[in-house]
Amino acid sequence: MQAEIITIGDEILIGQIVDTNSAWIAQQLNSIGVRVKQISSISDDRQHIIQGLKEAEQRADIIIITGGLGPTKDDITKKTLAEYFNVGFKRDAATLEVVAGIFKRHNRPLLDINIRQADVPENCTVLLNKNGTAPGMWFENNGKIYVSMPGVPFEMMYLVEGEVMPRIKAHFNLEAIVHHTILTAGIGESFLAEAIASVEDALPAHIKLAYLPKLGQVRLRLSAYGQNEQILRDQIKIYVDEITALVGDFVVTSEDKPLEKAIMDFMKERNLTVAVAESCTGGFLSQLFTQHPGSSEVFMGGAVTYSNQLKQSVLGVPLNTLEQFGAVSEETVRAMALGALSNFEPDYSIAISGIAGPGGGTEEKPVGTVWVAVAGKRKVVTSKFQFGSRRQQNIERSAINALIMLFKLLKEEHV
């Protein structure tokens, strides 16, 4: 069973807002056994919408549409859908009651433009939206399902969970889809592919392997399709075990979670803590940790020692080290890591110092030069990286590579 998602709105196409709806809807569809064939974003234009619907119905069994259902003249999705199905409008009493209730609660007058929100194409089944004035609409036409919903995320999510998913499951005999993700770090995509080629070549037709690289990491996603979910899970486990046996040194986790969360879970299981001493990353590494609930059980905190003065006063980096080798050097990050270990008293510490750019580089230390140190109770490891000239990318790469270094040291000392 295949679906297509269409998001409507000029605000998406000009980059004014980011389309998060499609990703969330795709996850929900996939969880019930519906494969998303394509995701498209189109403008608030009648002809573009009609053309998008015509093309989608050639590819998919289910067409999910969000956006363009507001009360103003630029929201034309409802009118265009009525034209597409060659039907008139009806007024839905339940929707009008919801709309009237919303305006009454806010002590605002109910205008005619708001009342017309209850007018829907004659051939639709109304999906009552209790969180807004625009109803969702379910259409069945020539064996295809069309669903139109508001683009406001919390309104759309309410309709998807409460109305759309149950209806799709009741309407179709859906196959099972099972995914399993393996997170690897510290090995390139091509080297990884070569290492596990024997497993990939042996996969049956109903199990697919995808490589998802990102900043020093590669996620391997195994996807199985069939009628019996438990059989699929048992089959995938065989291949997960075979892949792990081949590249186990690079496997961070066999769960679909971010690198920093996998590391924190590893440390939590062993009652280990970590602190940081950041310079060029400016707190980005700390934010990666603290964005996750429960991070305080592992992450103690740290310091953003951007200046040499703070590197000395907070971390105890010797002045002669800074003068002789500079802030961006192996000697300095080693001293920063040891200072964080001594002053903050974690089990492990991470120190980062570099030239994020776009200025500040020299011939000897060009923009993108970054030193990272990871210190434990028994060992300090350091590494020099040479990234590019883009500041934000350099910050992100520095943090991710620091995490990979921490992961390697943890595996060396605690596995």
Quick one: pLDDT at residue 239?
Answer: 97
**Domain 2-171 - what CATH class?**
alpha beta
Nearest of 161, 239, 251 to residue 204 by alpha carbon: 239
Number of Cβ atoms within 10 Å of the Cβ of 41: 18
Residue 379 CA to residue 410 CA, distance in Å, equals 11
* Residues in CB range of 248: below 8 A, 6 or more apart: none
Going 182 to 187 to 188 to 194, the CA torsion angle's sign is negative
> How large is the average pLDDT for residues 100-121?
91
- Per residue in 229-286, pLDDT tens? 999 999 999 999 999 999 999 999 999 999 999 999 999 999 999 999 999 999 999 9
Residue 239 CA to residue 235 CA, distance in Å, equals 7
As given in the structure block, the two tokens for residue 13 are: 């196409």
Residue 148 CA to residue 245 CA, distance in Å, equals 47
Average pLDDT, the chain: 95
Quick one: pLDDT at residue 72?
Answer: 84
- Asked if 244 and 254 touch (Cβ cutoff 8 Å), the reply is yes
- Asked if 3 and 37 touch (Cβ cutoff 8 Å), the reply is yes
Residue 382 CA to residue 331 CA, distance in Å, equals 9
Residue 264 CA to residue 262 CA, distance in Å, equals 6
Specify the CATH superfamily of domain 259-414.
CinA-like (3.90.950.20)
- Asked if 277 and 339 touch (Cβ cutoff 8 Å), the reply is yes
> How large is the average pLDDT for residues 203-207?
97
Nearest of 58, 49, 62 to residue 145 by alpha carbon: 62
- Asked if 396 and 380 touch (Cβ cutoff 8 Å), the reply is no
Q: Pinpoint the residues of the chain covered by CATH 3.90.950.20.
A: 259-414
* Residues in CB range of 156: below 8 A, 6 or more apart: 21, 25, 66, 149, 150
pLDDT band at 377 (very low <50, low <70, confident <90, very high): confident
Quick check: 178 pLDDT over 80?
yes
Quick check: 92 pLDDT over 90?
yes
Q: Going along 128-242, which residue ranges are E strands?
A: 136-141, 144-149, 176-185, 207-214, 217-226
Quick one: pLDDT at residue 73?
Answer: 83
Residue 179 CA to residue 223 CA, distance in Å, equals 4
As given in the structure block, the two tokens for residue 324 are: 């002789």
Q: Pinpoint the residues of the chain covered by CATH 3.40.980.10.
A: 2-171
- Give phi and psi for 370, each to the nearest 5: -140, 135
Quick one: pLDDT at residue 356?
Answer: 96
As given in the structure block, the two tokens for residue 271 are: 């009652």
* Residues in CB range of 57: below 8 A, 6 or more apart: 63, 142, 144
Whether CATH 3.30.70.2860 fits 176-253: yes
- Per residue in 54-76, pLDDT tens? 999 999 999 999 999 988 888 89
Residue 125 CA to residue 59 CA, distance in Å, equals 23
Residue 310 CA to residue 322 CA, distance in Å, equals 12
Quick check: 415 pLDDT over 80?
no
Number of Cβ atoms within 10 Å of the Cβ of 239: 22
Residue 195 CA to residue 191 CA, distance in Å, equals 6
Going 162 to 167 to 170 to 175, the CA torsion angle's sign is negative
pLDDT > 70: what percent of the chain?
Answer: 100
Going 324 to 327 to 333 to 336, the CA torsion angle's sign is positive
- Give phi and psi for 184, each to the nearest 5: -115, 155
